[in-house]
Amino acid sequence: MNKTRPVPINSALTGPPIPVQAKIAAAWTSFMFLYIYVDFFNLYKPGVVDGILNGLVWKFDVSPTLLTFMLASVAIPALMVMLSMTLPARVNRATNLVVALLYIPFSVFNAVGESWDWASFYGLSIGLEVLLLAFILRSAWTWPRCTASAATLAASLNTEPLRTPQQA
């Protein structure tokens, strides 16, 4: 018979610590979902699809340059998901700080020229995007640092690589 002990009601739940790289990658993933869905739901606005069929996106003519720019604007955050998990810590931190800072005004630009009728849609979407970018900035800015004592540093300078028995 399998007996289990009752869990105290006031016990705290704990989980393993989540690496900062995983937190940032998760935030970029959430940002990407939101980014894509905002663009998708924007297609439901009256006149948007007709404008696209007539070769206009916002006030811009559809062109290879515009589509390349639009692809890059989606590809950069998509790549940040992978880069956040694979880059070395110092480069990772700097890259996330720079890209997240650049995407805040880019996200806010989506509301330029829109009427107040759409303020709730753009306010919520831009607000959520900026919150995710702020989380990325905070996580990258407060990236945990590994400190070594002077003794550890001095010892590591004078160590030789380990030799296998054949080399001895």
Percentages helix, strand, coil for the chain, rounded to the nearest 5?
Answer: 65, 0, 35
Residue 70: inside a domain, yes or no?
Answer: yes
Residue 156, in any domain of the structure: no
User: Which string of b and e fits 148-160 if b means at least 16 CB within 10 Å?
Assistant: eeeeeeeeeeeee
Q: Is 29 part of a structural domain of the chain?
A: yes
What are 131-150's pLDDT values in tens digits? 999 999 999 999 998 766 56
Report yes or no on 154 lying in a domain.
no
Q: What residues make up the domain containing 82?
A: 20-142
Most confident of the ranges 3-12, 18-27, 108-117: 18-27
Domain membership flag for residue 71: yes
Q: Which two tokens stand for residue 62?
A: 């559809």
Q: Is residue 86 part of a domain?
A: yes
| Section 33-37 average pLDDT | 92
Residue 30 is predicted with a pLDDT of 97
Is residue 165 assigned to a domain? no
Whether 12 maps to a domain, the answer reads no
Per the structure, the count of domains in the chain is 1
Tokens of 45: 């606005």
